[in-house]
Amino acid sequence: MHSFLQKFGRLLVIWLPLGWLSIFFMLPLVEMVNVSLSEAKRAVPPYNPAFQIGKDGISFQPVVDNYLLIYEYWEDYLWPAVNSVRLAFFSTLYCLLFAYPMAWWIARSNKSLQHILLVLILMPFWTSSLLRMYALIGLLNPNGVINDFLIWAGITVTPIQMMQTDFSIYSGMILTYLPLMILPLYASLVRLDNSVLEAAADLGAKNWDIFRTIILPLSMPGVIAGCLLVFIPAVGEFVIPALLGGPEQLMLGKVIWTEFFRNRDWPVAAAIAIILIAIIIIPIVYARYQDKENIN
Amino acid sequence: MTPFIRIQNISKKFGELLAVDDVSFTLERGELFSLLGPSGCGKTTLLRMLAGFEKPSEGYIEIDGQDMANVDPADRPVNIMFQSYALFPHMSVSNNIAYGLKRALLPSDEIKARVEELLRLVDLSGMGARKPSTLSGGQRQRVALARALARRPKLLLLDEPLAALDKKLRTETQFELVNIQEQLGTTFIVVTHDQEEAMTLSTRIGVMDNGKLVQTATPNEIYEKPETRFVADFVGDISFLEATVIERTGKYWLMESATLIHATGSSTLTPGMKVSLAIRPEKITLTLQPTGYLNEFPVEIEDWAFYGAGTQYKVIGPDGIKLKVYQSHNQPSQANPRQLETGFVHFSPDATIILEG
Amino acid sequence: MRSTVPLLVKLLAIAGFGILYIPVIMMMIYSFNRSKLVSVWAGFSTKWYKELWYDDVLLTALYKSLLIGFSSATISTIFGLLIAIAFVRFANFKGRLFLSLVASAPLVMPEAVTGLSMLLLFIAMEVSFGWPSGRGVDTIMIAHATFGMCFAAVVIQTRLRDMDKSLEEAARDLGGRQPFVFLSIILPLILPSIIAAWLLSFTLSFDDLVIASFVSGPGSSTLPIVIFSKIRLGVSPEINAIATLMILAISALIMIGSFLVLRRDGKK
């Protein structure tokens, strides 16, 4: 037993997870490409797989109808794609806007306060994002807490429409992704040597100068890591546009869901998913490139 | 004439802790002044107050007639060379040096010229494009120095400038620093815990202990005429003898210790007074046979250490008096230390430093 | 410099914390509101909690979620540990690049994509091999374990990398061999990160909506699926109640966890 482990232990350690992930992560993606090239039909499952190993052998009958459909109805599909990128982009920006001061404050606090603040940041992260979105609905609804307060305080007479707007999407995104943005920023900022900042001040730099010429450049790796960590999943978000967004906030995650569950058009859903991957592949590759740079 | 730099009754309290206690001194233009003291004596706090990173609890600082109260570090005619150098890791050597000049909004060709000039000054010409991480410790220090001198500050503060360097580099850098300072005529204040560093670099030294400025004098005066037991002990090696004053005879004071001591001293002594006598090791002579000179007594040789240029002995005299004796190796009648067990020591009355209490 | 955190920065930071906490706190307060409507406070009441107790659908879903969470978290942690070991302790090996790609992609892949693709695989497998027959607890568990192990790997890797190597070297110097040294020296040292990884995987599994929706079948609805459909139908204070309970439970766990970690670090 012992020698078995000696000889094969290493291989096991590598190949067990590698095997699992190949089967349950890579293979599904391959199958999804397969289905995206398949013909829809009234059956269970509702498509005829392009590539299948059946009792009669292997057959390969790809069909590009799905992509053509998307191309034809590109307004229905391109627009949500652009919209997804737009909403994800600005969500990332707003997250950065709030996350940077928070990360800075935490990084500059003493050790015990840092611990407490970090736990405070992570606690919402551990609670279901679904429930947090629900809580947000309670705030933003026409008969929700904020409108109640505004009417009671006499600031407005009719409720302000906050749900199903870009604003509600951004609120949801920030609520969901803020901790993800803060952590790499914090990691970057906490390494900043205080004497470097004092040196800059000594040489004539005012606060804004110090931020612009010293702090920002040195924290750039953290900024980039945080932005990628938020932007990439945000593009494919489903729950946030589903619960908080209206028709103007349609995003690709919701489109996939709708095609799949409502229209029962699995091949088109698969095709859209492939397109979604195509959109985020560039940031993903860039993120991996950054990782390598940082390790070096 | 008003002194160039005046530090007046400066105190700094951190909560209950009095880090700097009523420190006052003045500097003339072009001095190289050292603040010398052990860790925790307040010298770094004083440095930071001069730079503007801490506000004094009491007192004021005046530089070239200008009161520094409420003046930001960025606006002071003071620059620091940090102990850790604090170079900007993401900027090249040239950009590090140019940083202060850019903040001063100088035209770019002037900045370029000045950076070249400074690189030449610290002997780093041609290294402008390098990044700090690719430089050695000594090179980084020179960049830090050049950067701190770029804005032509009236006062340059150096925080333990030689601490991070190895011995050989330290000696070289010492000379370089003094050279540069004399060339430029900038007033330097060096903060250090290393008394050798302070003595070799400075025109004057201020010794600090527990927040107080204990003595301010030239290196020579600090060494030969320390005013307190702390200063005597902190700077260089020294031996102490406790004695009671007897009376004055002619040139000398007679004192009672384990033996009779003749000492040259001021006239503020009174018979019966208890004093500490301090004697530098090189001022004591060790002989095999008694010589008949004043202040001589027999000793047992307890230990010795060979220093190349000389040997230091630890000897015990009558009544358990412990003395350190340094014998440099230029005397022909040198006995082999290995064979020495007993001997005689003597020292001149002029060599005694009388400290009260 | 330390004292001058500019006011603007402080205000933005406080606003950020506010955004994170105010919605949730309000929701918890309203879970005790007798009235169904948010706009009317009708007095303190625990009736929604009582209703929760009798809601069979919700309770079954809770049970399913816990079951799936426990099992997938355990698988995730084990496999995540293997991945971490491979990356930190093995020098170059064949497939290292591939493993790093395939272990980091799930971290950023949109859930809709992962969910849909896994469902399609399960169907293809069912057609070709007959397994899995239908979707249910097992398919959800596999799906959760798949992305869970990638998160677990990240958590464990950091700790493994920063570990003090001299302890292990001492053990080997005294005659210990792998894998004994690993089990008796290294594993205990990285135990906090393993626990953290398990908790993280559990949370991710327990909270997952999208992937579970794609790969679940009839009778295997998880808690988020049930909650989501309830929300779709309209605001139900019952959800406030269960949300409050879940948040309090998780917060308590976290506080205990971080208290333990702080104590351990403090002792060092």
Select the more confidently predicted residue: C171 or A243.
A243
Say how far apart CA B257 and CA A284 lie, in whole Å.
84
Per-residue b/e over A238-268, b at no fewer than 16 CB within 10 Å?
Answer: bbbbbbbbeeebbbbbbbbbbbbeeeebbbb
- Chain C neighbors (3+ CB pairs < 8 Å): A
A288 and C CB contact within 8 Å: yes
- C2 lies in some domain: no
**CATH class of the region B5-229:** alpha beta
Q: Answer yes or no: do A204 and B75 touch at CB < 8 A.
A: yes
Nearest Cα of chain A lies from the Cα of B58 at a distance, in angstroms, of 22
Nearest Cα of chain B lies from the Cα of A201 at a distance, in angstroms, of 5
A188 and C CB contact within 8 Å: no
pLDDT for B339 beyond 90 = no
C21 and A CB contact within 8 Å: yes
Q: Answer yes or no: do A256 and C10 touch at CB < 8 A.
A: no
- Contact residues on chain A for B71, CB-CB shorter than 8 A: none
Domain of residue C45, CATH code: 1.10.3720.10
Q: Answer yes or no: do C24 and A124 touch at CB < 8 A.
A: yes
Q: Answer yes or no: do C38 and A143 touch at CB < 8 A.
A: yes
H/E segment holding residue B32? strand B32-36
- C60 lies in some domain: yes
Nearest Cα of chain A lies from the Cα of B88 at a distance, in angstroms, of 6
- Please report, for residues A282, C101, C152, the alpha-carbon distance to residue A285 in angstroms, rounded to integers and kept in the order given: 5, 10, 22
Say how far apart CA A94 and CA A175 lie, in whole Å.
11
Assign residue B126 a region (left: φ > 0; alpha: ψ between -120 and 50; beta: otherwise). left
Decide: residue C77, CB within 10 A, 0-12 exposed, 13-18 middle, 19+ buried: buried
pLDDT for B152 beyond 50 = yes
C111 and A CB contact within 8 Å: yes
Cβ(A245)–Cβ(A251) below 8 Å: yes
Say how far apart CA A295 and CA C47 lie, in whole Å.
55
The CB-based long-range contact list for A19-22 (8 Å cut-off, 24+ gap) reads: A20/C79, A20/C145, A20/C146, A20/C149, A21/C99, A21/C102, A21/C103, A21/C106, A21/C146, A21/C149, A21/C150, A22/C102
Cβ(C13)–Cβ(A105) below 8 Å: yes
Read off the pLDDT of residues C173-219 as tens digits, 9 standing for 90 and up.
777 777 777 777 888 888 888 988 998 899 889 989 999 999 988 88
State which residue of chain A sits closest to B74, comparing Cα positions.
A204
Read off the pLDDT of residues B191-222 as tens digits, 9 standing for 90 and up.
999 998 899 889 999 999 999 999 999 999 99
Query: Between B73, B88, B90, which is nearest A202 by CB?
Result: B73
Say how far apart CA C71 and CA C205 lie, in whole Å.
10
Disruptive mutation site among C37, C120, C138 for chain A (greatest number of A CBs within 10 Å)? C120
CB-CB neighbours of B107 under 10 Å: 9
Read off the pLDDT of residues B34-73 as tens digits, 9 standing for 90 and up.
999 999 899 999 999 999 999 999 999 999 999 999 898 9
Q: Answer yes or no: do A204 and B74 touch at CB < 8 A.
A: yes
pLDDT band at A9 (very low <50, low <70, confident <90, very high): confident
Average pLDDT over residues A140-159: 82
Say how far apart CA B21 and CA C4 lie, in whole Å.
26
Average pLDDT over residues B310-339: 80
- Contact residues on chain B for A196, CB-CB shorter than 8 A: 86-89
CA neighbours within 13 Å on the CB side: how many for C118?
Answer: 33
A203: helix, coil or strand? coil
Structural domains in chain A, sorted by start? 64-295 (1.10.3720.10)
Read off the pLDDT of residues B168-189 as tens digits, 9 standing for 90 and up.
888 888 888 999 999 998 999 9
pLDDT band at C40 (very low <50, low <70, confident <90, very high): low
pLDDT for A24 beyond 80 = yes
Read off the pLDDT of residues A168-192 as tens digits, 9 standing for 90 and up.
999 999 999 999 899 899 988 988 8
Residue C165 CA from chain centroid, whole number:
30
Say how far apart CA B34 and CA B161 lie, in whole Å.
11
List of residues 6+ apart from B162 with CB closer than 8 A: B170, B173, B174, B192, B194, B197
Say how far apart CA C241 and CA C236 lie, in whole Å.
9
Chain A residues touching chain B at CB-CB below 8 Å: 193, 195-196, 198-206, 209, 213-214, 217-218
List of residues 6+ apart from A96 with CB closer than 8 A: A181, A223, A226, A227
Say how far apart CA C210 and CA A230 lie, in whole Å.
18
Classify strands B187-192 and B239-249 as parallel, antiparallel or unpaired: unpaired
Q: Answer yes or no: do A31 and C27 touch at CB < 8 A.
A: no
**CATH class of the region B239-356:** mainly beta
Read off the pLDDT of residues B86-101 as tens digits, 9 standing for 90 and up.
999 999 999 999 999 9
pLDDT band at C82 (very low <50, low <70, confident <90, very high): very high
Say how far apart CA B284 and CA B142 lie, in whole Å.
41
Looking at residue C268, its pLDDT comes to 42
Cβ(B201)–Cβ(B32) below 8 Å: yes
Query: Six-digit token pair at A102?
Result: 């928070």
List of residues 6+ apart from B256 with CB closer than 8 A: B243, B244, B245, B246
Say how far apart CA B228 and CA B222 lie, in whole Å.
10
Nearest Cα of chain C lies from the Cα of A175 at a distance, in angstroms, of 6
Domain boundaries, chain B: 5-229, 239-356
Say how far apart CA B191 and CA B177 lie, in whole Å.
14
CA neighbours within 13 Å on the CB side: how many for C76?
Answer: 36
- Contact residues on chain C for A138, CB-CB shorter than 8 A: 23, 26-27, 30, 38, 235, 240
Say how far apart CA A181 and CA A122 lie, in whole Å.
11
Cβ(C77)–Cβ(C198) below 8 Å: yes
Nearest Cα of chain C lies from the Cα of A72 at a distance, in angstroms, of 23
Query: The domain containing residue C58 runs over which residues?
Result: 7-267
Per-residue b/e over C237-254, b at no fewer than 16 CB within 10 Å?
Answer: bbbbbbbbebbeebbeeb
A122 and C CB contact within 8 Å: yes
Disruptive mutation site among C22, C26, C116 for chain A (greatest number of A CBs within 10 Å)? C116
Read off the pLDDT of residues C122-139 as tens digits, 9 standing for 90 and up.
988 888 777 777 788 899
pLDDT for B332 beyond 80 = no
Phi and psi for A130 in degrees, rounded to 5?
Answer: -60, -45
Read off the pLDDT of residues B239-282 as tens digits, 9 standing for 90 and up.
998 888 888 887 788 888 878 888 887 767 888 888 888 999 99
Chain B residues touching chain A at CB-CB below 8 Å: 51-53, 72-75, 78-80, 82, 84, 86-90, 99-100, 103-104, 147-148, 150-151
Structurally, chain C folds into a number of domains equal to 1
- Asked if the interface predicted TM-score (ipTM) of this complex is over 0.90, the answer is no
Say how far apart CA B263 and CA B254 lie, in whole Å.
7
Say how far apart CA A79 and CA B228 lie, in whole Å.
85
Q: Answer yes or no: do A195 and B90 touch at CB < 8 A.
A: no
Average pLDDT over residues C32-42: 70
Instruction: Provide the sign of the torsion angle of the four alpha carbons C114, C115, C118, C123, taken in this order.
Output: negative
Which residue in this structure is represented by tokens 């374990």? C145
Query: Six-digit token pair at A220?
Result: 């750039």
Nearest Cα of chain A lies from the Cα of B89 at a distance, in angstroms, of 8
pLDDT band at C1 (very low <50, low <70, confident <90, very high): very low
- Please report, for residues B151, C56, C228, C251, the alpha-carbon distance to residue C62 in angstroms, rounded to integers and kept in the order given: 69, 10, 13, 18
Say how far apart CA A139 and CA A105 lie, in whole Å.
27
Decide: residue A38, CB within 10 A, 0-12 exposed, 13-18 middle, 19+ buried: buried
Disruptive mutation site among C92, C108, C138, C198 for chain A (greatest number of A CBs within 10 Å)? C108
CB-CB neighbours of B264 under 10 Å: 14
**pTM (2 d.p.):** 0.80
Q: Answer yes or no: do C108 and A287 touch at CB < 8 A.
A: yes
Looking at residue C158, its pLDDT comes to 84
Nearest Cα of chain C lies from the Cα of A65 at a distance, in angstroms, of 19
Phi and psi for B215 in degrees, rounded to 5?
Answer: -155, 140
Query: Between B51, B78, B103, which is nearest A209 by CB?
Result: B103
Residue B142 CA from chain centroid, whole number:
21
- C1 lies in some domain: no
Q: Between residues 26 and 65 of chain A, which touch chain C (CB distance below 8 Å)?
A: 26-29, 31-32, 34-35, 45, 49, 52-54
Please provide the DSSP assignment of C209-221 as one string: -HHHHHH--TT--
Cβ(B190)–Cβ(B42) below 8 Å: no
Nearest 5°: the CA angle C40, C41, C42 is 105
H/E segment holding residue B23? strand B17-27
- C115 lies in some domain: yes
Nearest Cα of chain C lies from the Cα of A24 at a distance, in angstroms, of 7
Query: Six-digit token pair at A95?
Result: 């997250």
C252 and A CB contact within 8 Å: no
CB-CB neighbours of B310 under 10 Å: 18
A156 and C CB contact within 8 Å: no
Average pLDDT over residues C223-232: 88
